[in-house]
């Protein structure tokens, strides 16, 4: 009895795009199917080691590619773990992965991009690029029943019980007439060698009467000597494990010896994955023990801030039958992690010498990488040194902390920063004027994470890291002399303090402003205005913070005039109005919303009208 089922709506949408797009690189389907077969062999191998009673010995694990020119079909089979009925329904009828709707949106916007297919985990469905019907026969390790799964990629799929002697998976593609070239053995041999050479299992090409030929090298790339591996092979391997189609920006292949023996082959991609900042994104290094794949979910193997690193670690020091649960919080794993993180940071440091090249890495991954200053206590100084920031030195160019320090005048004793949403807005903040006038460079930090690492990294190379509000300097300012009369200025401050008592913590004088009459600040040690805004935007905190300080510049002509006006009772109403406008302007300079835009607009218009 066959059961008819429909694809999840998402799958339908995706299939529609996959099938109807004109890929120039249709052949990637073969790579995807072989990659799935290889994963299935990995899984069975692992099962045989950990649960020998369930897994049957399935002979030598291998993958077979069988073209049939006469019937225009192509079959890819493996003797890996296989699938049962539930697997077929849950893995080949729905898309479990998040980000699929992003994928669909992206494909619609930017047209079909073949290089996204693998990355979004739609590997299997790529079969429908070349086939108008797909038939799978499979039997899962430890189970009796075999099943057949059939689909034309349009009207859902059918499942029925079937006969299959051995454990494994067999997928037959009924090729579209225009895709007949995928039955050509010369072409197939070329494709397998080019894209699947590094697969750890033999890939046999069935040549019919001429017998079977193993086409790939079938050995783990990472055990070879570096000198024997070509850049092309590294790239193919990277593309295989990352599901990416770009070139790796960094390839790091090394063997660690000493207290812990392992080999690692790591890559940093040259493009940013779509899900870098999705909360469920975890590191995905593949862990092998003596070339047996164990898991790609050992979270402790790589810290979160390096979650974009792809690759493998193969260790002979871990027990083969280690359970996946035992791998978490394992001391040996922590040792490996420290080793590979150290190597990566060292390589990044070398690459940093070439600014333009390093920028490519930074633009893709800098924001995630910077989390390390906060997260990785023991390496935070190195990570900070490898980080780039905007600064008032050149708003268009990212700088390192070391370069900042090199530019520091002798009498400057701290690295200054300000945080906000936007470099341009920040660099026009009136509070920076005095820093600029005194030759003090200020870092313009615009990533949410900057709010956090600046709190944990107190010093860099002996220089304290300080928010501009914590600057402790003898500022040199040339002023033309005029200053508000002390007595009436005090009255003005008291008056404003009373006026804003519900909204502000304090109104106080400042010597640090030049062209601006007022500025908003917070008490030192308090959450910055920007962080408060971030939290508010994430609904972490709804209450308005009451400890803000409005700083008032006694040298500003407007403040001088307002102070003078304080001497006459009848000016109070006007002064209150102007004071409110000034507070709103201070908020605007901080990128903060103003509380009563209608008041602001009408009041400012009223004063503008008086201009002529
Ligand atoms: P991915 O490989 O990224 O998981 P695919 O779309 O390529 O996504 O495959 C979907 C799922 O189908 C796999 O995760 C696996 O569970 C199952 N699958 C595909 N091919 C095989 C196979 N040859 N043997 C066993 N299971 C397979
Ligand atoms: Mg796959």
Distance CA 129, CA 20 (A): 8
Q: What is the pLDDT of residue 219?
A: 83
Q: What is the pLDDT of residue 369?
A: 97
Give yes or no for residue 14 CB within 6 A of ligand 1.
no
Q: What residue has token string 């530019």?
A: 407
Q: Per-residue pLDDT tens for 235-287?
A: 989 988 888 889 999 999 999 988 889 999 999 999 998 888 887 778 889 99
Q: What is the pLDDT of residue 291?
A: 82
Give yes or no for residue 99 CB within 6 A of ligand 1.
no
Residue whose CA is at the smallest distance from ligand 1 atom 16: 91
Q: Reply yes or no on whether the pLDDT at 111 is more than 70.
A: no
Residue whose CA is at the smallest distance from ligand 1 atom 23: 37
Distance CA 566, CA 57 (A): 94
Residue 120 confidence class, pLDDT cut points 50, 70, 90: low
Q: Reply yes or no on whether the pLDDT at 90 is more than 70.
A: yes
What CATH number does the domain located at 486-515+545-609 have? 1.20.120.790
The three-class DSSP label of residue 59 is: coil
Q: At what angle do helices 486-499 and 572-589 cross, to 10 degrees?
A: 70
Q: Does domain 3-214 have CATH number 3.30.565.10?
A: yes
Q: Residue 244's closest CA among 267, 265, 261?
A: 267
Residue 496 confidence class, pLDDT cut points 50, 70, 90: very high
Distance CA 581, CA 283 (A): 50
For residue 10, how far is the Cα from the chain centroid? 24
Q: How far is the CA of 40 from the centre of ligand 2 (A)?
A: 10
Residue 427: which residues within 8 A CB-CB, separation 6 or more? 392, 395, 444
Of the chain, the percentage scoring pLDDT greater than 70 comes to 92
Q: How far is the CA of 33 from the centre of ligand 2 (A)?
A: 7
Q: Is the dihedral of CA 200, 206, 209, 210 positive or negative?
A: negative
What CATH number does the domain located at 221-355 have? 3.30.230.80
Q: What is the pLDDT of residue 359?
A: 98
Burial of 419 (0-12, 13-18, 19+ CB in 10 A): buried
Give yes or no for residue 215 CB within 6 A of ligand 1.
no
Q: What is the DSSP string of 424-470?
A: HHHHT-GGGHHHHHTT--EEEE-STTHHHHHHH--EETTEEEEEGGG
Q: What is the DSSP string of 328-364?
A: TT-HHHHHHHHHHHHHHHHHHHHHHTSHHHHHHHHHH
Give yes or no for residue 371 CB within 6 A of ligand 1.
no
Please give the residue that has the higher pLDDT: either 125 or 325.
125
Please give the residue that has the higher pLDDT: either 125 or 105.
125
For residues 550-554, average pLDDT: 96
Strand partners, 445: 419
Q: Reply yes or no on whether the pLDDT at 99 is more than 60.
A: no
Residue whose CA is at the smallest distance from ligand 1 atom 12: 91
The three-class DSSP label of residue 114 is: helix
Q: What is the pLDDT of residue 113?
A: 53
Edge-to-edge strand ranges of the sheet holding 292-295: 248-256, 262-269, 310-315, 286-289, 292-295
Residue 262: which residues within 8 A CB-CB, separation 6 or more? 255, 256, 313, 314, 315, 316, 317, 336, 339
Pocket of ligand 1, candidates 28, 35, 91: which has the most ligand atoms within 8 Å of its Cβ, to mutate? 91
Q: What is the pLDDT of residue 404?
A: 98
What is the DSSP-derived secondary structure letter of residue 24?
A: S
Q: Residue 34's closest CA among 261, 179, 240, 264?
A: 240
Q: Which range, of 20-24, 81-85, 381-385, 501-505, averages the lowest pLDDT?
A: 20-24
Q: Per-residue pLDDT tens for 361-390?
A: 999 999 999 999 999 999 999 999 999 999
Residue 56 confidence class, pLDDT cut points 50, 70, 90: confident
Q: How far is the CA of 32 from the centre of ligand 2 (A)?
A: 5
Q: What is the DSSP string of 178-199?
A: GGGGGG-HHHHHHHHHHHHTT-
Q: How far is the CA of 368 from the centre of ligand 2 (A)?
A: 26
Distance CA 72, CA 172 (A): 10
Q: Is the dihedral of CA 600, 606, 607, 611 positive or negative?
A: positive
For residues 505-517, average pLDDT: 92
Q: Reply yes or no on whether the pLDDT at 340 is more than 70.
A: yes
Q: Per-residue pLDDT tens for 553-589?
A: 999 999 999 999 999 999 999 999 999 999 999 999 8
For residue 551, how far is the Cα from the chain centroid? 39
Instruction: Report whether 374 contacts 456 (CB < 8 A).
Output: yes
Q: What is the pLDDT of residue 586?
A: 93
Q: Per-residue pLDDT tens for 328-337?
A: 778 889 999 9
Q: Which range, of 52-61, 69-78, 328-337, averages the lowest pLDDT?
A: 52-61
Give yes or no for residue 123 CB within 6 A of ligand 1.
yes
For residues 109-117, average pLDDT: 54
Q: Reply yes or no on whether the pLDDT at 182 is more than 60.
A: yes
Q: Reply yes or no on whether the pLDDT at 490 is more than 90.
A: yes
Q: What residue has token string 């390839």?
A: 251
Give yes or no for residue 91 CB within 6 A of ligand 1.
yes
Q: How far is the CA of 583 from the centre of ligand 2 (A)?
A: 58
Give yes or no for residue 169 CB within 6 A of ligand 1.
yes
Residue 413: which residues within 8 A CB-CB, separation 6 or more? 463, 464
Residue 301 CA neighbour count, 13 Å, CB half: 29
Please give the residue that has the higher pLDDT: either 293 or 63.
63
Residue 218 confidence class, pLDDT cut points 50, 70, 90: confident
Span 370-470 CATH architecture: 3-Layer(aba) Sandwich (3.40)
Q: What residue has token string 């590979």?
A: 340
Q: What is the pLDDT of residue 207?
A: 94
**CA angle (51, 83, 212) in 5-degree steps:** 95
Q: How far is the CA of 73 from the centre of ligand 1 (A)?
A: 20
Nearest ligand to the CA atom of 169: 1
Q: How far is the CA of 123 from the centre of ligand 1 (A)?
A: 8
Q: Residue 62's closest CA among 220, 214, 222, 238?
A: 214
**Alpha helices per DSSP H over 1-145:** 9-20, 28-50, 85-91, 100-110, 114-119
On average, the pLDDT of the chain sits at: 89
Q: How far is the CA of 160 from the centre of ligand 2 (A)?
A: 23
Q: How many CB atoms lie within 10 A of CB 603?
A: 16
Query: What is the domain partition of the chain in residue ranges?
Result: 3-214, 221-355, 370-470, 486-515+545-609
Residue whose CA is at the smallest distance from ligand 1 atom 20: 36
Q: Residue 553's closest CA among 543, 565, 541, 561?
A: 561
Nearest ligand to the CA atom of 11: 1
Nearest ligand to the CA atom of 128: 1
Number of H helices, E strands in the chain: 20, 23
Q: How far is the CA of 80 from the centre of ligand 2 (A)?
A: 14
Residue whose CA is at the smallest distance from ligand 1 atom 18: 36
Q: What is the pLDDT of residue 100?
A: 57
Q: Residue 37's closest CA among 8, 77, 2?
A: 77
């Amino acid at each position: 009895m066959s059961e008819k089922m429909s694809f999840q709506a998402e799958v339908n949408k995706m299939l529609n795009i996959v099938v109807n797009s004109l890929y120039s690189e249709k052949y990637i389907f073969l790579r995807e199917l072989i990659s799935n077969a290889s994963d299935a062999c990995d899984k069975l191998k692992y099962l045989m080691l950990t649960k020998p009673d369930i897994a049957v010995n399935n002979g030598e694990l291998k993958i077979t590619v069988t073209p049939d020119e006469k019937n225009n079909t192509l079959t890819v089979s493996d003797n890996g773990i296989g699938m049962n009925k539930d697997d077929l329904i849950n893995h080949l009828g729905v898309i479990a992965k998040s980000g699929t709707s992003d994928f669909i949106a992206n494909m619609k916007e930017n047209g079909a991009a073949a290089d996204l297919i693998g990355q979004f985990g739609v590997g299997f469905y790529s079969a429908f690029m070349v086939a108008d019907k797909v038939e799978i026969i499979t039997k899962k390790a430890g189970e009796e029943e075999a099943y057949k799964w059939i689909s034309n990629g349009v009207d859902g799929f059918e499942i029925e019980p079937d006969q299959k002697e051995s454990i494994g998976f067999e997928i037959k593609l009924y090729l579209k007439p225009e895709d007949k070239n995928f039955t050509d053995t010369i072409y197939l041999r070329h494709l397998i060698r080019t894209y699947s050479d590094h697969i750890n299992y033999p890939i046999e090409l069935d040549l019919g009467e001429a017998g079977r030929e193993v086409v790939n090298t079938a050995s783990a790339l990472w055990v070879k000597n570096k000198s024997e591996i070509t850049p092309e092979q590294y790239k193919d391997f990277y593309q295989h494990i990352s599901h990416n189609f770009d070139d790796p920006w960094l390839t790091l292949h090394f063997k660690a010896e000493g207290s812990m023996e392992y080999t690692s082959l790591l890559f940093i991609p040259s493009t940013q994955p779509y899900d870098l900042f999705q909360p469920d994104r975890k590191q995905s290094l593949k862990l092998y023990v003596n070339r047996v794949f164990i898991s790609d979910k050992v979270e402790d193997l790589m810290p979160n801030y390096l979650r974009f690193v792809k690759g493998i670690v193969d260790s002979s020091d871990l027990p083969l039958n280690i359970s996946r649960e035992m791998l978490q919080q394992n001391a040996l794993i922590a040792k490996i992690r420290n080793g590979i993180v150290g190597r990566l940071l060292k390589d990044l440091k070398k690459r940093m010498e070439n600014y333009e090249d390093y920028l490519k890495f930074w633009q893709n991954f800098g924001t995630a990488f910077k989390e390390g200053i906060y997260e990785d206590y023991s390496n935070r100084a190195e990570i900070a040194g490898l980080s780039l920031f905007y600064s008032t030195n050149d708003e268009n160019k990212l700088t390192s902390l070391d370069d900042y320090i090199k530019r520091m005048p002798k009498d400057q004793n701290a690295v200054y920063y300000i945080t906000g949403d936007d470099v341009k807005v920040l660099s026009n903040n009136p509070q920076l004027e005095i820093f600029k006038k005194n030759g003090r460079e200020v870092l313009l930090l615009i990533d949410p994470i900057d709010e956090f690492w600046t709190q944990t990294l107190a010093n860099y190379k002996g220089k304290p890291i300080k928010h501009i509000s914590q600057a402790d300097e003898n500022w040199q300012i040339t002023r033309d002399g005029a200053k508000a009369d002390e007595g009436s200025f005090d009255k003005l401050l008291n008056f404003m303090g009373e006026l804003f008592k519900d909204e502000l913590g304090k109104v106080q004088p400042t010597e640090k402003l030049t062209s601006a009459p007022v500025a908003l600040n917070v008490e030192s040690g308090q959450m910055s205005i920007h962080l408060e805004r971030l939290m508010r935007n994430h609904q972490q905190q709804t209450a308005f913070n009451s400890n803000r300080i409005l700083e008032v510049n006694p040298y500003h002509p407007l403040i001088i005039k307002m102070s003078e006006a304080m001497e006459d009772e009848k000016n109070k109403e006007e002064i209150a109005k102007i004071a409110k406008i000034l507070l709103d302007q201070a908020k605007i300079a901080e990128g903060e919303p103003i509380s009563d835009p209608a008041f602001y607009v009408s009041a400012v218009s009223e004063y503008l009208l008086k201009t002529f």
